[in-house]
Amino acid sequence: MGFETNTIRFLLEARSTGVQFKQSLTLGRQGMHLGVYDLQKVFAEVGETLPLIVAQTLTRDAVDGEPLFAEPLLHYLGASSADSIDFSDYESASILHDLNQPIPAELHGRFSSVIDGGTLEHIFNLPIALQNSLNMVAEGGHFLAITPCNNMAGHGFYQFSPELFWRILTPENGYQLEKMYVFEMYPHAPWYRVHDPKAVGGRVTLQNRRPAFLLVQAKRISATPIERLKVQQSDYVSVWQAGTGSRRPSLVSRLTTPLRRRLPTSLKMGLRAISFRIKDGLALLRSPYRANYYDRYK
C-alpha cells in the first residue's frame, strides 16, 4: 500500500508513545504516497513543524514526481537502519525472503520495529507470515500494522477482522496489544478506537461504504521465539467454556421455528434476502461505528 497521510499520522503517534524506530523493518519496500504539503499538514496536526526543504526530501515532489521509498522518513523518525524484506528484488528490498516460509534464526529479534504497511494481505501462508513478522521484533520492540479491514475484496488474498489481531497479540504469544484504530481510506480521515471483542462480549462487526483499514500497535513482552501462534475466536471460547447445555434458543426462535420449517425453501430464501436488505439499509443509515465497538478517537 505504501505510506499515506493516515499511515504517517499513526507512525508519528507511535513515536510519541515510545515506539523506537532505531532498527526498522518494513514488510515489502514501502513508497511515499503523498505530496510535500500533505506531509507538512500531517506534521502540523501533531504540533511539529516540518521545514519545506525537509518535506521535499521525504516525498515524491523531490525528484520530478517519481515516488520515493519510505526509508528517509524512517530515518527522520529515528532509524539508524531502515531495512525492507520482500520475496523479490524488483523494488531493491534489502532482505530477500519468501515470508510464506519460516525466517532464518538470524532475523529473530533483530528489529526494534516491524511495520506492515499493506503486505500481509498479499501473502498466502498467513499464519507463517504473521509468525515471521512477530518473531523479527526484539523484546521491548513493536509490531505496527496498517492493514485492510473492510470493502477491499480483490485487493489481496485477505482483509482482516479486528478479532484476528486482538487474539494473536496476547501475552500467550509474547505480545501486548497497546492500541487499535479503524479508519476509512481518505486523507486525514477520522479514527475510531476498536474495542476488544472479548471485553465487549460479542463480535465487533463493521458495515460501511468505503475501504476501511486497521491501525495496530503491539509491544513484544517476551523474547521467546514463537513456534506456533495460539489463536481462538473469543466468542466461541466463551461458548465452549460455558458448555453447550447452557445455550437455549430464544423464545421467538422456539415459537417461529416450527412455522419456518413448513415454508417452501424458495420462500424462506426470499424472506431471508429481504431481511438482509432491510438490516443492511438500517445499518448504513446510522453510523457504522457503534459505541460499544468503536469510540471516536480523532
User: How many residues appear in the chain?
Assistant: 298
Between 144 and 297, the higher pLDDT residue:
144
Cell numbers linked to 170:
496476547
Cell numbers linked to 159:
482483509
pLDDT given at position 66: 63
Per-residue pLDDT of 225-256, as tens digits, reads 999 999 999 989 988 888 755 556 666 666 66
**CA separation for the pair 281, 97 (Å, rounded):** 45
Query: What residues pair up with 82 in beta bridges, in sequence order?
Result: 24
Q: What is the β-pairing status of strands 23-27 and 81-86?
A: parallel
Three-state DSSP class for residue 117: coil
**CA separation for the pair 106, 92 (Å, rounded):** 20
What percentage of the chain carries pLDDT values higher than 70? Answer: 86
Report whether pLDDT(208) > 60: yes
Give the pLDDT band (50/70/90) at residue 266.
Answer: confident
Report whether pLDDT(63) > 60: no
* Residue of 165, 173, 174 lying closest to 217 (CA atoms): 165
Report whether pLDDT(282) > 70: no
Query: What residues pair up with 115 in beta bridges, in sequence order?
Result: 26, 144
Per-residue pLDDT of 77-103, as tens digits, reads 999 999 999 999 999 999 999 999 999
Would you say 21 and 15 are in contact if contact means Cβ atoms under 8 Å apart? yes
Per-residue pLDDT of 117-131, as tens digits, reads 999 999 999 999 999
pLDDT given at position 195: 93
Lowest-pLDDT choice from 13-17, 56-60, 162-166, 238-242: 56-60
